[in-house]
Amino acid sequence: MNQSLTNLPPLHVLQESDIACLSAIAQPITPTPGTILLHQGEVSEFVYLSLAGSFEMSLPQPGATQPLMTLEGGEIFGETALLDTNPSPVTITVTALCKILALPKKALSQQLERDRDFSARFHNLLAINLSERLRQLSKAMAIRHIKEGEPLRKVLLVFATLNDSDVAWMVANGTSEKIPTGSILIQQDQSVPAVYLLLDGTLGIYINIDNNGSTQDKQLAIRIKGDILGEMSFIDGGAASATVKALEHTWVLAIPQSKLAAKLAADGSFAGRFYRAIAQIMFNRCQDLFTRATIHHTTSTADFLSEDIEIEDEIDFDVLDGTAIAGTRFAWVIHQLQ
């Protein structure tokens, strides 16, 4: 089993000791095509790591099922069991004979608590999986005219997880930049040099999609004070999945990818906190899109995109408990940079 895991490219961030740990707690299963591993609305006690085969992620609706994407070997799914207390928003169905490691939530959580370095690498792997999934999901939703909502500000999730010294390091190693109205901060399909913390202003997120041979710009979302950008490209090493443009005079803290990578490699404690926070951010963005896709199925596009419609995000109370100190840390960052 260890050899099977080692041969999967997506698992390159794990070490042999991590693979041995996962193998020790895993329950190998080989479900046949048509098997539903996870039902929408179900609270799973397992996180699944696929070794081979393919799986369909879908949103079952009255009278129809919306296929969202296909998952393959090396993917993690069922992460809701680890990152949230809410039921799964999607259904996962086996579409080709597969091999899966079912990781019991309790045993996995205990190992993540015991081993700081394992926790950092596993959450890094989870963030990579979620980043790649979010890229696919964002493009699919843009085609359906479904925009992202405005979930809990990312900075609250990150600063609630990091400690004071982590935040101080970000200020000391980042660069304060002013972005004029209309300027492009990040260009789709190009490399992203930094992770950006949005200190003030408004940014628009746009994606180029092919529409019957012609390219169209679709606005996916608007980002406001307290958001973080460029984290997906940092996590998975890919080019920008969207263009980010200043809709008004905007102020950001740019943390160079090279400095951040060096810090994560040298400081295991920081790495554990950072990767856990980023995985939670990407998970919440996926959940938001799933929720909006579900509502969009029963609501006209015009009504759905109306500003009068709001979607409440289900945020874990453990996260909310840390938002007060997170807000204080964010205010401190702004004070230090002014």
Burial of residue 99 (number of CB atoms within 10 Å: 0-12, 13-18, 19+): middle
User: If DSSP states are collapsed to H, E and C, what string results for 209-248?
Assistant: EEECCEEEEEEEEEEECCCEECHHHHHHCCCCCCEEEECC
Q: Is the pTM of this model over 0.95?
A: no
Burial of residue 37 (number of CB atoms within 10 Å: 0-12, 13-18, 19+): buried
Residue 310: predicted pLDDT? 36
How far apart CA 52 and CA 32 sit, in angstroms, is: 12
**Count of domains in the chain?**
2
Q: pLDDT tens per residue, the chain (338 residues)?
A: 555 565 666 678 888 899 889 989 999 999 999 999 999 888 889 999 988 889 998 887 766 677 888 888 778 888 888 888 788 888 999 999 888 999 999 999 999 999 999 999 999 999 998 988 888 877 776 666 665 555 446 888 889 899 999 999 999 999 999 999 999 999 999 999 999 999 999 999 998 876 677 777 778 788 989 899 999 999 989 899 899 999 999 999 999 999 999 999 999 999 999 999 999 888 888 887 777 766 554 444 444 333 333 333 444 434 445 577 888 899 999 999 98
Domain final position from 114, 134, 162: 114
How far apart CA 220 and CA 146 sit, in angstroms, is: 8
The domain in which residue 193 lies consists of 142-337
Looking at the structure, do residues 160 and 302 belong to the same domain, yes or no?
yes
Residue 201: predicted pLDDT? 95
Q: Does 29 map to a domain?
A: yes
Looking at the structure, do residues 195 and 328 belong to the same domain, yes or no?
yes
Phi, psi of 32 (to 5 degrees): -90, 160
Q: Does 131 map to a domain?
A: no
Q: Does 70 map to a domain?
A: yes
Identify which of 47, 82, 69 has the alpha carbon closest to the alpha carbon of residue 138. Answer: 69
Q: Does 136 map to a domain?
A: no
Looking at the structure, do residues 202 and 303 belong to the same domain, yes or no?
yes
Looking at the structure, do residues 148 and 58 belong to the same domain, yes or no?
no
CATH code of residue 91 = 2.60.120.10
Q: Does 183 map to a domain?
A: yes
SS3 of residue 256 by DSSP = strand
Q: Does 103 map to a domain?
A: yes
Which DSSP helix (H) or strand (E) runs through 95?
A: strand 91-104
Looking at the structure, do residues 194 and 260 belong to the same domain, yes or no?
yes
Q: Does 119 map to a domain?
A: no
Looking at the structure, do residues 89 and 191 belong to the same domain, yes or no?
no
Residue 265: predicted pLDDT? 94
Looking at the structure, do residues 191 and 310 belong to the same domain, yes or no?
yes
Residue 113: predicted pLDDT? 93
Looking at the structure, do residues 160 and 43 belong to the same domain, yes or no?
no
Looking at the structure, do residues 86 and 189 belong to the same domain, yes or no?
no
Residue 7: predicted pLDDT? 63
How far apart CA 65 and CA 54 sit, in angstroms, is: 18
Looking at the structure, do residues 17 and 82 belong to the same domain, yes or no?
yes
The string of DSSP codes covering 105-149 is: HHHHHHHHHH-HHHHHHHHHHHHHHHHHHHHHHHHHHHHTT----
Q: Does 129 map to a domain?
A: no
Residue 145: predicted pLDDT? 62
Looking at the structure, do residues 227 and 323 belong to the same domain, yes or no?
yes
Residue 220: predicted pLDDT? 79
Cα 166 from chain centre? 21
Residue 2: predicted pLDDT? 57
Looking at the structure, do residues 151 and 12 belong to the same domain, yes or no?
no
Identify which of 55, 79, 81, 80 has the alpha carbon closest to the alpha carbon of residue 68. Answer: 55
